Every structure is written in C-alpha cells, then in structure tokens.
Amino acid sequence: MSGPPAAGRKQVHLAAQLPGIHNVTVWSDPRARSQIAFDSFLHLAQTAERGRFDFFFLAEGLRLREHKGQLYDLDVVGRPDNLTQLSALAAVTTRLGLAATVNATFNEPYEVARRLATLDHLSAGRTAWNVVTSSDAFTGENFRRGGFLAEADRYARAAEFLATARELWDSWADGDVRADAVAGAYLRPGAGRFAHRGRHFDISGRFTTPRPPQGHPVIIQAGDSDTGREFAAAEADVVFSKYNRLDQARSFYRDVKGRLARHGRTPDRLKILPTATVVVADSDAEAAAYADEITRAQVSPQTAIAHLEAVWGRDLSGYDPDGPLPDIDPDPDSLTLKGHSLFRRGRAETARRWRALAERRGLSIRELVIEISGGQTFVGAPRTVADAIDHFVQTGGADGFVLVPHLTPTGLDDFVARVVPLLQEEGVFRPDYTSRTLRDHLGLPHDRGEDTADPAAEEEAS
C-alpha cells in the first residue's frame, strides 16, 4: 500500500521519453517494435500514465542526420511530427503531461503559439514546450536558402520568440469567451489583439486561439552553456540536464538554482530533471549483467567507429574497434557527422582527453566509447533502484528524472510495475494524480500573464 507524502522529504518527479533521436535504443533487439508506429507511442505513454509520471516527452530532429554522406540510421530515422503525435495521445490519456521539442530557430511565434495553445486545450492543460535553438547550417538548408542563425544570435532570438509567444497567449483574457446569448455577445471585442515590435519579430494582428488552460504551457529548456543556464533561470519551468553522475549533478543543480533569485524566482519554481536509464532485474547481479549486455548492444563495433569518426573528422573504418585509438590527429575542418550538435566544437581537446583516458585505463576504441557513453544510470533489483533514485533527489542532485528506455516501447514496463510502488510506499512519489494539469503535477502556479484587455478598444468596438 502506498504511503502518505514523507514529511521533510522532496517528492520525486518522473517523466518518460520515447528514444530514437540518439543511439540509446536497441532497435535490433527482437523484442523491439516500431519507432514510428503510433502503437509504440501509445504503449509508452499509457505505461507512463499508469505509473503516475508527470509527463511524456518527444524530442525532435529537423533533418535526417548523415554520417560520411549517408543516412545515420543508428539514430533510428523517420520520427513523425511530435505535436501531431501528442494531439492523438491527448485523446487516449487523461492526466499525463504531453511535452514536445519545438525549435525556436526555424519556426515562427504565431504558428508555434497557436499549435501549443491548441494542444493545451485538447489535453485540458497538459502541454509543455521544450524550447531549443539551432546554429547548424546543415539543418537550416531544410528551411531557408543559406539559412541558419549565427550562434551568438540564437538565444537572443529564442528569448524574443518565447516572449512573443507569451504575448500571443496573453492577448486573450480568461473571460474573453462570453457566450452570452441574452446579450448577443460571444467574444470580448478586443480579444486576441496583439502587436510585437522587436529585433527578430515585427508582427501584429489577432491571435485566433483563446488563452490556454494553464495560462502558458510549461516551458522546458536544456542548454548547458552559461548563456543557456541563465536563460533557463530566467524563463524555464523545467530544465533537462545531462548530468546523471551525482557529483556533477549536484554542481549543476546548485549553479542553476542559485541563478533564480536575481530573476525574482524561488528554487521551487524550476524543476531540474536529468536524463537517465534504468535496468531492473530480480537481483543486483542479474541487473548488472543485463546492463552490460544492453550497453554493448548500444555501442556495437559499427557505433564505436562512427562515434570516433565524429570527433576525428576522418574515415576510420580501417581501424579495429577492439584495438587502440588512432595515432593521427583530428581534422579540425572536417565533419563526418552532420545534423548533430555532438562534438561540433572542441574536437581536438576531446580527442586529447579520450587518448589520455584510453592510455591510463588500457581501453580499446569500443571500450572507450562505452566508458564515455556512461552506461546505464540506475541498475539493480527494484529496491536498489528505488533507493538510488530517492537518494539522488534527496541529496540535491535533481528534482527527478526523464527516463529513456533502451527498448521501444516496453522498456519502462518493469520500472512502473516494480519500482514505482516502492517509491510510493516511501511517500516520495504520488500514489495517484491529485489534479489534471501539468503545472499542478510539477507544483508550479498557473501562469496567467497580464490581462491585456483594452477597455477603450472594447468600448470603441461596441
């Protein structure tokens, strides 16, 4: 039986992500199912809702990645549009939050604000937007001729993009849909009127969609640079972190939370959720063996060489993945992997660190890639995993985790069946949903913005 919330202990937040944008999924496993079919999205989303997770997250890739000029199918290509998928999932879930990456470099505020507001209405207030940017000319070719933003400009555009979207959501007040049959008035006359003048956007008109149920959808951000961290502290409700080693995670957690005060925000207004993987079995030893099997499947010989080529910028297909690292230096002007932010900068320094690690530990190419990939985050029997997650949260490493299964779509079935009940018994995870909106799940206030009703305009229109 689930216990009451534990006094003085933080509540653990959990989210699920369908894999496929990075090569963490083992699509060749005979138990794996489609990365594209709706049934896979449905299974994982309903598993997450059964586990009382906060939200289900879909990442986004705007161009099929290429490795040495060929499609990089280790990422598993062909992902459908995420907002369309989440709209379908809104009809077959009732409480689970629905989060999507939408790029702020290659879209426009009006269309994104409208689509997110629509999803928030369809889901009765369960929408989140992961705001990302891109400085990648390769991806930009899909959108505008010679088109991409210089890196120095991308956060400035993203900040204005988000501010503009909020202005659009706030162009409707909560009482603007009157539907007063007696008075013959359906809308407040000034509803949806907006005008934005800025460096990146100069738009005005009437926004077509009433204010979302949450006021504003939950805003997620994942940048790790100093600029990205500051943007998160000023604007985000949730931060996706790459740090799932406790010492690194604590440092990141303290740094980002420490920035909130200068933006007039308190630590509870921002949730930090590292990405993590989980391997559960009957015993710790069995789980460790299975985790090693999974990691070796994720980092096949082909994957190991491709990973190294992304740093070296050279064709290394002649090297033995079970042999030593190349003794040649990276080509600083060559990219073998396009459409991926990984190893875009500092490749010479990365190669130097990898060589030093391989020499110190006596690692082959494949062993090195397994080592730097990090393996699995939480491994063990159900109690071991539950205790490790709780310890991570209670000791200041995170507010919870975004769990990414290695197997689509059944990779979280055991976690939900065997680990979640233990967290509930400890009183650190909800036994059931207590409200409907994602902001409520996360303990965030509904963001109503400013009431932009213009009495003078309304009187003139009347």
Dihedral, 72, 78, 84, 87 alpha carbons, nearest 10? -90
Angle among Cα 375, 376, 379 to the nearest 5 degrees reads 135
Burial of 333 (0-12, 13-18, 19+ CB in 10 A): exposed
Report the C-alpha gap between 54 and 439 in whole angstroms.
9
127 by DSSP, 3-state: which?
Answer: strand
Q: Which of 311, 331, 307 is nearest to 321 (CA)?
A: 307
φ, ψ at 77 (rounded to 5°): -90, 170
Strands 70-71 and 13-17: unpaired
Contact 214, 119 (CB under 8 A): no
205 by DSSP, 3-state: which?
Answer: strand
Contacts (Cβ under 8 Å, ≥6 apart) of 149: 105, 133, 134, 135, 140, 157
Cis check: omega of the bond before 267, within 30 degrees of 0: no
Report the C-alpha gap between 328 and 96 in whole angstroms.
50
Enumerate the known binding-site residues: 101, 155, 225
Enumerate the known binding-site residues for FMN: 101, 155, 225
Contact 40, 34 (CB under 8 A): yes
